[in-house]
Amino acid sequence: MGLRHAENLRRLVPRAQLVAVADVAPERARQAAVALEIEHSYGSLEAMLECKGLEAVVVATPDKFHASSVKLAAAAGKNVFCEKPMGLTMAEAHEILDSVARSGVRMQIGFMRRYDPAYAAAMKHIEAGDIGVPVIFKSVGRDKDGPPLATYQSNVNGMLFYANSIHDFDLARWLMQDEIAEVHAYTSSMIRPEVTQFGDVVASVVNLKFNEGAIGNIESYAQAAYGYDVRTEIVGSKGSILIGSLSQTSKTLLTVNSISQTTADHFLTTFADAYLAEMRDFVECMLRDDQPRIGGEDGLRALAIAVAAENSYLQGKPIAVSSATPVVVS
């Protein structure tokens, strides 16, 4: 993910200048710098923050290090783009918001689906009232291949709710134009029970209740095998909007013997345009001295839903999202 952002900034965001990359594996950082034709590479964020001319930082570390990285960058006076989730606990999220506020910098959270052309178009229809009042939110997020067991063993990323479902939690808030009041999570690891020893699951269904009375359902699946599959539907009082399909392209072959489609196989393929658009928008906001469209409050609220979903999974009952959000202490 970090390399994709770096490539976009270097090649496709003309109003930005990529000045440095950092990785805990210095040789990997050096190789990236050579490939991107830039001068500076570092073996740590702390070292990179000393680089002259640096004004903003993109944090694309494993989830466990988002909070510490954002706080370091903010303390150094750098604006920050942080991949989702902004943290793995509500305490971390509040620490990030406090650090960003105290330093007077700005932060954008990487919920790139809001920048996808289809999702953006759907939002315009919803705002225009074309489907009436949104009543039901349904979302499917399925990865093609499950992570290797070493990914779970490393304990550096959040479980399924934080790594996958959090995109759908953000979309639910945004597209329904309402906050989620309660979640009830159901999970399964029947095809890969070994992941449970690391506190994770393979599949989940999270039922939603919204503040204004709407309902919803989010399915996440870590290893669908057939392809990368992301689809969303918003059902309203006057109609419905469906977003996404199985196809990587619009081509479908129909014959007497079969029907075939070319399915997407990776999130970087499906959302290539969205990743570029969000980075361009981040750069433009920084240059205009504006607040980002997707800020810390959005990151906090999506994280609160993920925390509530995990608590529901662990306790086997519905959980109010507000109960997963501690009082802010500044």
pLDDT, tens digit, 9 for 90 and up, residues 173-198: 999 999 999 999 999 999 999 999 99
**What CATH code is carried by the domain that includes residue 95?**
3.40.50.720
User: Same structural domain for residues 169 and 310?
Assistant: yes
- pLDDT for residue 246: 65
User: Same structural domain for residues 172 and 312?
Assistant: yes
Query: Does residue 82 fall inside a structural domain?
Result: yes
User: Same structural domain for residues 287 and 316?
Assistant: no
User: Same structural domain for residues 121 and 106?
Assistant: no
User: Same structural domain for residues 188 and 314?
Assistant: yes
Where in the sequence is the domain holding 69, given as residue range(s)? 2-111+276-293
Q: What is the tens place of the pLDDT at every residue in 244-278? A: 876 654 444 445 576 555 566 777 788 999 999 99
Query: Does residue 231 fall inside a structural domain?
Result: yes
Query: Does residue 313 fall inside a structural domain?
Result: yes
In the block, which residue shows the tokens 């086997």? Answer: 316
Q: Measured between alpha carbons, how far is 30 from 22 in angstroms, rounded to an integer? A: 8
Query: Does residue 56 fall inside a structural domain?
Result: yes
pTM: 0.92
Please, what is the angle between helix 272-288 and helix 117-127, to 10°? 70
Provide the 3-class DSSP secondary structure of residue 158. Answer: coil
Tally of structural domains, the chain = 2
**What CATH code is carried by the domain that includes residue 151?**
3.30.360.10
Q: Measured between alpha carbons, how far is 298 from 294 in angstroms, rounded to an integer? A: 6
User: Same structural domain for residues 87 and 134?
Assistant: no
Query: Does residue 77 fall inside a structural domain?
Result: yes
Query: Does residue 190 fall inside a structural domain?
Result: yes
Query: Measured at the alpha carbon of residue 159, what is the angle toward residues 187 and 296, in degrees to the nearest 5?
Result: 120
User: Same structural domain for residues 61 and 101?
Assistant: yes
Token pair for residue 116? 């996808």
User: Same structural domain for residues 136 and 40?
Assistant: no
Q: Predicted confidence band at 124 (pLDDT cuts at 50, 70, 90)?
A: very high
**Stretch 82-94: mean pLDDT:** 96
Query: Does residue 329 fall inside a structural domain?
Result: no
User: Same structural domain for residues 210 and 62?
Assistant: no
Query: Does residue 330 fall inside a structural domain?
Result: no
User: Same structural domain for residues 118 and 87?
Assistant: no
Residue 316 has what DSSP assignment? T
